[in-house]
Amino acid sequence: MKSVFGVLVAVILVFSAQSCSIKLNGASTQGLKTINIGYFENTAPYVLPTLSQDFTEALKARIRSTTSLDIVRTEQADAIMTGSITGYSIAPASIQATTNNAPPIAGASALTITVEVKYTNNVDKKLSYEQSFSESKNFTGDIASQQNTLVPALITQITEDIFNKAFANW
């Protein structure tokens, strides 16, 4: 009798989870079945050649891996996410002491990426937003030798922020 009850409970839980499209990771896609994710063009003054493609694909992968949403290419999707990369900059993060009255030099620098996002939830309009997301990482030395690790880390942080704003209501 206990095994029949256990199986019945398991079946009910499976159907309940599938019908409301809520994932156990805290992400809620209540009422959404499809999403259209546009290409995030790099409009920043400095253009890293692969940044647009890398960012767009990372955002799709984040949504694909943690929701049951189908990514579609239609304006009739339940949700639409568009935007652009508006900033890619390197600035001094700390100043290094110098001797002999030499001008100060950067001890560390910060790479910052900024993305402007417009999220339209066609099922629940009050969950729609338009917001800028920005993340920075400090580094020492030249950017060329560290760009291949810094950029993916920043993309991961920004896509996480965008995802949480859209689906975790943060």
41, pLDDT greater than 70: yes
Residue 93 domain-assigned (yes or no):
yes
Residue 7 domain-assigned (yes or no):
no
Is the pTM above the cut of 0.95?
A: no
Residue 2 domain-assigned (yes or no):
no
Residue 3 domain-assigned (yes or no):
no
19, pLDDT greater than 60: no
Could you read off the pLDDT of 131-168 as tens digits, one per residue?
A: 999 999 999 888 898 999 999 999 999 999 999 999 98
Say how many domains are in the chain. Answer: 1
Give the CATH number, domain containing residue 91: 3.30.160.150
The region, left, alpha or beta by phi > 0 then psi within -120 to 50, assigned to residue 25 is alpha
Mean per-residue pLDDT over the chain, rounded:
84
Could you read off the pLDDT of 67-102 as tens digits, one per residue?
A: 999 999 998 999 999 999 999 999 988 766 656 676
Domain extent, residue 163, equals 32-167
3-state secondary structure the chain: CHHHHHHHHHHHHHHHHHHHCECCCCCECCCCCEEEECCCEECCCCCCCCHHHHHHHHHHHHHHHHCCCEECCCCCCCEEEEEEEEEEEEEEEEEECCCCCCCCEEEEEEEEEEEEEEEEECCCHHHCEEEEEEEEEEECCCCCCCHHHHHHHHHHHHHHHHHHHHHCCC
Residue 55 domain-assigned (yes or no):
yes
Per-residue confidence (pLDDT) for residue 137, from 0 to 100: 96
Residue 151 domain-assigned (yes or no):
yes
Residue 13 domain-assigned (yes or no):
no
d(CA 71, CA 69): 6
Arithmetic mean of pLDDT, 2-7 = 44
Residue 16 domain-assigned (yes or no):
no
Confidence of residue 7 (pLDDT cuts 50, 70, 90): very low
10, pLDDT greater than 70: no
